[in-house]
Amino acid sequence: MRLTRRLLGTLLPLTLVPAAVVALSPAALAEPAQTRTGTEVVAHRGASGDAPENTLAAVDEAVEQQADSIEIDVQRTADGHLVLLHDATLARTTDVEQVFPGRALDPAGSFTLAELKQLDAGSWFGPGFAGERIPTFAEFVEHTGDRAGLLIELKEPATYPGIEKEVAAELGAPRPGVVVQSFDHDAMRRFAEAAPDVPAGWLFETRPTGAQLDDAVATGVEQINPSFRVTDADLVDTVRARGMQTGVYTVNEEPDMRRMIDAGVDRIITDHPGVLRDVLDG
């Protein structure tokens, strides 16, 4: 089934999503319909191994592959809209060079929402995704609905002063299955002030120290999310002893998945949620 969908994805165009911003509804942030126990499967930028990252197509593929949650990156447009984007520029994942000649390396945040909606965010991945658009954060939440949890990364939040409050405002009241994280721990402290009841995660590129873990506890952090390359059972136990959980990124090879499962991590972020689901199902 998954192989068939991947092949079809390279051949069949997807329906375009509306450009209008969709208001968040209470149902959109409800607890995922499929609640599972054990290691949580988190789709990195959606199922980005099988669909263009940070798009609604990647959301649908992640749900098809039975992801528990979907991780996405949030930035802000020049006119103040929250959108799904990872890179600092649009060159890698859109046709910005053709649509806006000379602006390919301009900061992503220098474009308005109307400009971003003119870009093709799918063809770079495969012809079957031609016309896929950059979704707003609101469109993503509405489209995902209760089909999966949300793991929201504030991407380079120092570039977007006040984005912590804006994300908190769009989320509204805290709901199950929603977590906000960032490598910028100062930004996460600001987010904790804006939304103290929304679960927060701190991302780490290197192995977190005891002092950093203590700081996270004092800030009310619930998840410590380092690279799988610096994670082992000792770190998982150390984090758990402080009352927090551990999630690791970005695990794409089966031996690494098995090693992280054996280490006892609470969640694994992967480009291939279907592969991880198969590993977990034995």
pLDDT of residue 36: 59
pLDDT of residue 7: 42
Domain containing residue 49: 2-281
pLDDT of residue 14: 35
How many domains does the chain divide into? 1
What is the CATH classification number for the domain harbouring 264? 3.20.20.190
Residue in 81, 86, 143, 185 annotated catalytic: 86
* Cβ–Cβ under 8 Å, residues 225 and 244: no
> Across-strand partners of 270?
43
How far is the C-alpha of 17 from the C-alpha of 144, rounded, in Å? 13
What is the pLDDT averaged over residues 193-222? 97
Tokens coding 64? 């098809």
pLDDT band at 91 (very low <50, low <70, confident <90, very high): very high
Apex 101 CA angle, 99 and 105, nearest 5: 105
pLDDT band at 17 (very low <50, low <70, confident <90, very high): very low
* Cβ–Cβ under 8 Å, residues 273 and 67: yes
How far is the C-alpha of 218 from the C-alpha of 208, rounded, in Å? 15
Percentage of the chain with pLDDT > 90?
84
pLDDT of residue 131: 97
Q: Give yes or no for residue 8 having a pLDDT over 60.
A: no
Q: At which residue do the structure tokens 């136990």 appear?
A: 237
Closest CA to 175 of 24, 10, 66: 24
Reply yes or no on whether 272 is catalytic: no
Cβ neighbours of 164 (radius 10 Å): 24
pLDDT of residue 25: 42
Apex 134 CA angle, 147 and 113, nearest 5: 125
pLDDT of residue 107: 98
pLDDT of residue 172: 85
- Mean pLDDT (the chain) is 90
pLDDT band at 37 (very low <50, low <70, confident <90, very high): low
Q: Quick: pLDDT tens for 117-144.
A: 999 999 999 999 999 999 999 999 999 9
Cβ neighbours of 218 (radius 10 Å): 9
pLDDT band at 174 (very low <50, low <70, confident <90, very high): confident
pLDDT of residue 79: 98
Reply yes or no on whether 143 is catalytic: no
How far is the C-alpha of 144 from the C-alpha of 138, rounded, in Å? 10
Q: Quick: pLDDT tens for 235-272.
A: 999 999 999 999 999 999 999 999 999 999 999 999 99
Q: How far is CA 114 from CA 41, 85, 166, in A?
A: 34, 15, 19
pLDDT band at 15 (very low <50, low <70, confident <90, very high): very low
Q: How far is CA 96 from CA 107, 121, 131, 134, 148, in A?
A: 12, 9, 13, 12, 31
3-state secondary structure of 23: coil
pLDDT band at 176 (very low <50, low <70, confident <90, very high): confident
Q: Give yes or no for residue 24 having a pLDDT over 80.
A: no
